[in-house]
A and B are shown apart, each in its own frame.
With several copies, the nearest count.
Chain A
């Protein structure tokens, strides 16, 4: 299956293999890794938590949205959960398309959407404490209790 939430380390090649095909001329991957320094603060490790069944549904939805916009694209996404050390891989997004521009655009679309609608949370453990990371997009909260249509559809 092309969309997965995994407790095990992600093998990049396995995600790529899901999208390579005879009509693909370009495959882009996005690999999110755990960075040590953020704005001068040192991260020791991270914990990722997911609402797994819904997270998989939302990853599938992102795949459908990509298919609507880029009909020739094939997409695969695996997100890790659990404890991650510095340089560990949190997410791998692979997108194949016949031509390269679409592979970049569709891949970027996927990561932005993940940060909007996929129920996965990151707890940063710093040297001096820990915190659940809020909305990284720094958009306003959700006064209606769910993402606005504009968030979902564009």
Chain B
């Protein structure tokens, strides 16, 4: 299972901040596609992704136990 973290508007949209989803062997892009269908989650195309706390490409392949965070445009400072 992949641990997924959601923040800011994504968290509000889904109504939760963490979830587990089957995704071993999937790319980040495939996981995004799956989440879009399963949760009707909009706007995943324009967010950054972090895998295990480092920014990652859409092509990055995921393994069970990975933590994937979807990171909307940041606004700290």
Direct contact of A and B (CB under 8 A): yes
A122 touches B69 (CB 8 A): no
B73 at the interface (CB under 8 A from A): yes
Interface positions of A from 28 to 67, Cβ below 8 Å from B: 32, 48-51, 53-55, 57
Q: Which chain A residues in 79-113 approach chain B with CB under 8 Å?
A: 79, 90-91, 100, 111
| Contact across chains for A145 and B58 when beta carbons are under 8 A apart | yes
Q: Are B76 and A91 in contact (CB under 8 A)?
A: yes
Say what secondary structure dominates the interface of chain B.
mixed
Instruction: Give the size range of A's interface with the partner.
Output: 35 or more
User: Scoring B residues 44 to 61 as 1 if CB is less than 8 Å from chain A, else 0, what string do you get?
Assistant: 011111100111111000
- Which residues 125-148 of A have a CB within 8 angstroms of B? 132-136, 141-147
For residue B1, CB closer than 8 A to chain A, the reply is no
Asked if residues B76 and A146 are in contact (CB atoms below 8 Å), the reply is no
With both beta carbons as reference points, the residue of chain B lying nearest to A123 in the complex is identified as B8
A114 within 8 A of B: yes
Known: A53-B53, A54-B50, A132-B12. A144 touches B58 (CB 8 A): yes
Bound complex: CA A133 to CA B7 (Å): 12
A116 within 8 A of B: yes
Could you say which residues of chain B place their CB within 8 Å of the CB of A133?
75
0/1 string, B26-49, CB within 8 A of A gives 1: 001100000000000000011111
A–B pairs, 15, beta carbons within 8 Å: A49-B7, A51-B5, A51-B50, A79-B76, A119-B74, A119-B76, A120-B75, A120-B76, A122-B76, A123-B8, A132-B12, A136-B75, A144-B57, A145-B29, A145-B57
